[in-house]
Amino acid sequence: MSKRIYLFIFIIPVVVFLAFTTVASSQERSEAVYLVTIDDYIINPVVEEYISNAIRSAQRDGQCLIIQLDTPGGLLSSTRKIVKEIMASKVPVAVYVSPKGARAGSAGVFITISSHIAAMAPSTNIGAAHPVQMGERKSISDVIKEIIKYFKKTDEDKAQKKKKVEPVKEEKDIMSEKIMSDTLAWVSTIARTRKRNVDWARKAVLESASVTETEAKDLGVIDLVAEDIDDLLIKINGRRIKMDDKVYKLATKDAKIVKIDLDKRQQFLNVVTNPTIAYILMILGFYGLLFEFTHPGIGFPGIAGTIAIILGFYGLHTLPTNYAGVALIILAFILFIAEMQVQGFGLLALGGIISMVLGSVILIDSPYAFMRISIKVIIPVVVATAAITTFLAAVVIRTHRRRVKTGAEGLIGEQGKVIKGLKPKGKVFMHGEVWNAVSEEPVNKGETVEVIRVEGMRLMVKKI
């Protein structure tokens, strides 16, 4: 009997240990599912921070994180950091390209392929992962041609442009080749690690290949197609995912969804880092400084302009900015200010307009339209700037030409009546005041005189 007791005491710890080990190796997590939404955002440092914080929150008390993705692409540097966070995550990360009509373009390809579970909604697409930094640099002649083409466009040209998409040109230089080689190696190792189609991943980078959700599923680019978030949770329920020598079993069917939104600071910075918004902020900042230079002493335009310029430069700092474009825009405003100061008869203003157009077009160095500033934005901004400059210059010129109406100088040319005969000294009534006056010729009382100059408190006058 005692032997059975000892045997039972020995077996219980072994059974408990084995049961604990089994649970640890196949954890059926019943915690909440965290959800973040990338709603047509450009992948930038703000989005990178947003996803990183969400992964950390999910690791604390969630069973997985779902990234609902809709992006045209973004910066390769920010994409690398996001992929690194997903690859190192302690909880499964699912990327769901949604809603219908969404796309995982450029940077979105890397993020989707790196996820533990890749899914897409119907009527979505993925692809075109050509590196953003490898865009064709525009020469000044290309910029001029683009501007001329903009003004000569017809409805037929616009229709043809919709039908025909020109392929992205590559700069055949050493740096471009290095970036391409590095990106190909990177996307290959991500796809291989996640057991996804390596050949297609390389093709998406090399040839900007793009596929629909059904094609992506057939090619092994994604794991499944789901109608919506609820359908996704049902389809990934019970899925086992191996992470760090452990196998996690998802229990998502009835799990609580915790949605994480951009906080107020991130929302603001995400708007500022939009290329068009950053450009407009920079221009508005220059407007403020321009007004301050032409109307010194007001203060508010200068302060507001400085803040706008700082925010604009912050946005440009997160983008592939061509600083030659920034220099040309600064030169344009210097020329505008000079036009008001030296009255260059429009030549300086014309140079400023040309400089501003060229600088605006080459400001963002990217082959993708969503990362560049549209000509449709640049032209109205330049026209508005030219109009504002012309108006301010006209105000300055009128101010310089206007007669002085206050102080001693304001009396010159004014007329008054003699109340005490000038022989040559006497008194004159002018502007409701009585003045001592001197005239080179005698003037009788009641006659009208005109002031020719002021000497201290005495007026030098002449008879009219």
* Rounded Cα–Cα distance for residues 362 and 242 (Å): 47
99 and 206 share a domain?
A: yes
- Interstrand relation of 117-120 and 210-212 (parallel, antiparallel or unpaired): unpaired
Domain finish residue from 262, 296, 323: 262
CA 398 vs CA 123, 292, 393, 405: distances in Å: 62, 18, 9, 14
* pLDDT at residue 80, as a whole number: 94
- Please provide the average confidence, as pLDDT, over all residues in the chain: 81
* pLDDT at residue 135, as a whole number: 38
Residue 285 has pLDDT above 60, yes or no: yes
Asked whether residue 146 is domain-assigned, the answer is no
Residue pLDDT, tens place only, 329-377: 889 888 887 877 776 567 888 888 889 888 888 888 776 677 778 888 9
The percent of the chain in helix, strand and coil, each rounded to the nearest 5, is 55, 20, 25
Find the domain containing 127 and state its range. 15-135+174-262
416 and 393 share a domain?
A: no
- The tally of domains found in the chain comes to 3
Asked whether residue 254 is domain-assigned, the answer is yes
105 and 183 share a domain?
A: yes
Of the listed ranges 17-21, 66-70, 269-273, 406-410, the least confidently predicted one is: 17-21
388 and 415 share a domain?
A: no
26 and 101 share a domain?
A: yes
Residue pLDDT, tens place only, 4-62: 444 444 554 444 444 444 433 334 444 899 999 999 999 999 999 999 999 999 999 89
The pTM assigned to this predicted structure is: 0.69
> For position 437, which CATH number holds?
2.40.50.140
Domain finish residue from 262, 297, 322: 262
> For position 45, which CATH number holds?
3.90.226.10
232 and 290 share a domain?
A: no
Asked whether residue 149 is domain-assigned, the answer is no
210 and 74 share a domain?
A: yes
450 and 386 share a domain?
A: no
* pLDDT at residue 149, as a whole number: 56
251 and 286 share a domain?
A: no
Asked whether residue 142 is domain-assigned, the answer is no
Asked whether residue 101 is domain-assigned, the answer is yes
* Rounded Cα–Cα distance for residues 352 and 348 (Å): 6
200 and 122 share a domain?
A: yes
Asked whether residue 156 is domain-assigned, the answer is no
Asked whether residue 164 is domain-assigned, the answer is no
55 and 187 share a domain?
A: yes
The tokens for 361 are 């077009």
Domain finish residue from 238, 262, 286: 262
φ, ψ of residue 367 to 5 degrees: the values are -80, -10
19 and 88 share a domain?
A: yes
* pLDDT at residue 19, as a whole number: 45
- Interstrand relation of 448-455 and 433-439 (parallel, antiparallel or unpaired): unpaired
Asked whether residue 387 is domain-assigned, the answer is yes
Residue pLDDT, tens place only, 303-333: 899 999 999 988 888 777 888 888 898 898 8
Split at pLDDT 50, 70, 90, the class of 291 is confident
